[in-house]
């Protein structure tokens, strides 16, 4: 007997499946760059960079912004250098301080200079900008992160006749314009002293109202370390704004400073600055 089997093909149409979201690609974890460890620090500039206004007990001398920043970065004593000196101008920093700084091979350099230039009769904003550019290039070529400052309006701190106040404000504005131009062109961080909290409070200024007090130096150090942190440096010990470790100058110390240092300084700078101020006063008189 023959059995015939007929095979029928059946076409099966799959039922439509509900749309399922595509598997999202799992992004690769971005590598977090390691924080840079600052081993060497240099502070350049004038009497504020020296630390005037923040005296040390017993040993004498000054502490100021430099040692505070070095401590915040965890830099040992041999890694800190401060060739700054009172009265230094921007050209002094370039020609007299930068060579020692480059030899030190710092990871970071803080620069506080320019205010002395504003009080001199040969003030030249273009030359200051050229000197600042030279400072940045020479240090940056050795792998150093350079942080200059732009200045507050010191006429709001130091009491002056209105005409002298206008003259000093105009000079500081010219100085800041030169610094702003260089900072923007070179792409370096810059600490704006005008924006520091309490910049015009008398508590942040020493008795001479020319230099920061201990609190003022701590505010400077806090501002510098914030910019260093933004630049990728590790700041293991943030700067405290609680004063301590320094010494509060006595009334006798205040008087002695004013007689021996303050008044002679004002006399020297005043004689140099007055011709410029006289031009400001004359132009103001003509305008009125």
For residues 19-35, one letter each, b for 16 or more C-beta atoms within 10 angstroms of the residue's C-beta and e for the rest, the string is: eeeeeeeeeeeeeeeee
Domain ranges of the chain: 41-287
Section 151-167 average pLDDT: 80
Section 161-173 average pLDDT: 83
Q: How far, CA to CA in Å, does 240 sit from each of 71, 217, 218?
A: 11, 11, 7
The angle subtended at Cα 83 by Cα 146 and Cα 267, nearest 5°, is 105
| pLDDT tens digits, one per residue of 114-142 | 999 998 888 999 999 999 999 999 999 99
Out of 4-18, 46-60, 262-276, which region has the weakest mean confidence (pLDDT)? 4-18
Q: How far, CA to CA in Å, does 231 sit from each of 108, 138, 198, 277?
A: 10, 19, 24, 40
Tell me the CATH number for domain 41-287.
Answer: 3.40.50.1110
pLDDT at 249: 57
Check: CB of residue 213 under 8 Å from CB of residue 21.
no
Residue whose tokens read 């007055």: 274
Q: Identify the three-state secondary structure at position 260.
A: helix
**Per the confidence metrics, is the pTM higher than 0.85?**
no
pLDDT at 210: 80
Section 192-203 average pLDDT: 92
Write out the two tokens for 150: 């732009």
Residue 84: CB atoms within 10 Å: 27
Query: CA 69 to CA 217: how far, in whole Å?
Result: 10
């Amino acid at each position: 007997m023959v059995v015939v089997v007929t095979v029928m093909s059946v076409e099966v149409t799959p039922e439509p499946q509900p749309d399922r979201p595509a598997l999202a690609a799992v992004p690769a974890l971005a590598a977090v760059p390691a924080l840079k460890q600052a081993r060497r620090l240099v502070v350049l500039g004038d009497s504020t960079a020296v630390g005037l206004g923040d005296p040390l007990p017993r040993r004498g001398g000054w502490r100021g912004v430099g040692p505070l920043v070095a401590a915040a970065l965890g830099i040992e004593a041999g890694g800190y250098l401060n060739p700054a000196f009172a009265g230094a101008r921007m050209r002094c920093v370039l020609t007299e301080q930068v060579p020692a700084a480059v030899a030190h091979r710092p990871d970071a350099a803080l620069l506080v200079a320019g205010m002395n230039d504003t009080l001199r009769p040969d003030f030249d904003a273009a030359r200051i900008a050229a000197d600042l550019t030279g400072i940045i290039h020479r240090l940056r070529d050795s792998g150093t992160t350079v942080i200059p400052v732009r200045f507050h309006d010191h006429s709001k701190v130091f009491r002056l006749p209105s005409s002298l106040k206008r003259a000093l404000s105009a000079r500081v504005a010219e100085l800041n314009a030169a610094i702003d131009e260089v900072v923007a062109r070179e792409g370096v961080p810059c600490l704006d002293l005008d924006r520091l909290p309490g910049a015009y409070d008398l508590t942040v200024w020493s008795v001479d109202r020319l230099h920061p007090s201990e609190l003022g130096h701590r505010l400077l150090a806090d501002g510098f370390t914030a910019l260093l942190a933004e630049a990728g440096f590790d700041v293991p010990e943030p700067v405290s704004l609680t004063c301590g470790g320094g010494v509060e100058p006595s009334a006798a110390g205040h008087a002695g400073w004013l007689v021996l240092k303050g008044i002679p300084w004002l006399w020297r700078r005043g004689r140099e600055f007055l011709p410029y101020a006289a031009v400001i006063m004359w132009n103001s008189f003509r305008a009125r």
